[in-house]
Amino acid sequence: MAEYRLKTPLTDEDVAKLKAGDIVYLTGVIYTARDAAHKRLVDLIEKGEELPFDLKGSVIYFVGPTPPKPGEPIGSAGPTTSYRMDSYSPILIEHGQKGMIGKGKRNEAVKEACKKYKAVYFGATGGAGALLAQRIKKAEVIAYPELGPEAIRRLEVEDFPVVVVNDCYGNDLYEQGRAQWEEK
């Protein structure tokens, strides 16, 4: 397992060097979106309409942050369970998204899209939302404010810590970990 510091937007070259289990520190812009926002993004793609941000090289964090304390850019910002985005993620990946951040397993369609279009699924530590929020330097709602915490936000992050769960080679950290323990 290796450790990388990457700047967003991600490129095919960035994604190609990552393997399941690698630790990555992301710096740059990432976007927030949960299932309601994902549905709206996919609807826009299907209608051929413009998206609220450029998907090319983008990283989407599956989070619904709490309101910020005075003087803070964002409240607690821990990952949400990713499977709710499984029906939407392959379409977004096909249209240029390179990374996703969440918690929990992904389905085969998401893993196949990661392989076919060179994308990666990162895991963030659940229960550590307050600590993760410290890595978010700026947060701005850019779409769907009526969704409240689930609105799409543009986040500026610095050394945001994630682990590669699914790489673009079909490797799955959860499966590898389970196999390792089953051998024992």
Token pair of 128 as six digits: 């550590």
Residues written for the chain: 184
- Angle at the Cα of 177 (from 176 to 180), degrees rounded to 5? 85
Active site residue 95: no
Residue 153 tokens, joined? 């936000």
Q: Sign of the C-alpha dihedral, residues 166, 170, 173, 174?
A: positive
- Residue in 8, 22, 38, 92 annotated catalytic: 38
Distance between CA atoms of residues 45 and 158, nearest Å: 30
Cβ atoms of residues 136 and 73 within 8 Å = yes
Q: Are 152 and 32 in contact (CB under 8 A)?
A: yes
Active site amino acids: 38
